[in-house]
């Protein structure tokens, strides 16, 4: 990550943006949906916390979400 100091009156540089293809968007959606389901299962006591983290880690590998680095 690059940090840039902005002086008063300076315009912020435009950040690089990534346009996701339809398939990538679907993978992101599927990942988020799977994560919500697994977290609900853990909340209701169907799976342990250890199982929860193992499943979440596996889901990151299977779905390869764009922002996988920041997911807990």
Instruction: Look at residue 49 in the predicted model and tell me its pLDDT.
Output: 93
Predicted model pTM: 0.60
Give the chain's largest Cα–Cα span: 55
Instruction: Look at residue 15 in the predicted model and tell me its pLDDT.
Output: 63
Percent pLDDT > 90 in the chain is 31
Burial class (CB in 10 A: 0-12, 13-18, 19+), 40: exposed
């Amino acid at each position: 990550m690059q940090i840039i100091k902005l002086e008063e009156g300076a315009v912020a540089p435009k950040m690089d943006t990534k346009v996701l293809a339809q398939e990538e968007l679907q993978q992101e959606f599927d990942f988020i949906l799977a994560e919500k389901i697994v977290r609900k299962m853990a909340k209701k006591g169907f799976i342990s916390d250890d199982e929860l983290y193992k499943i979440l880690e596996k889901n990151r590998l299977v779905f390869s979400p764009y922002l996988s680095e920041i997911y807990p």
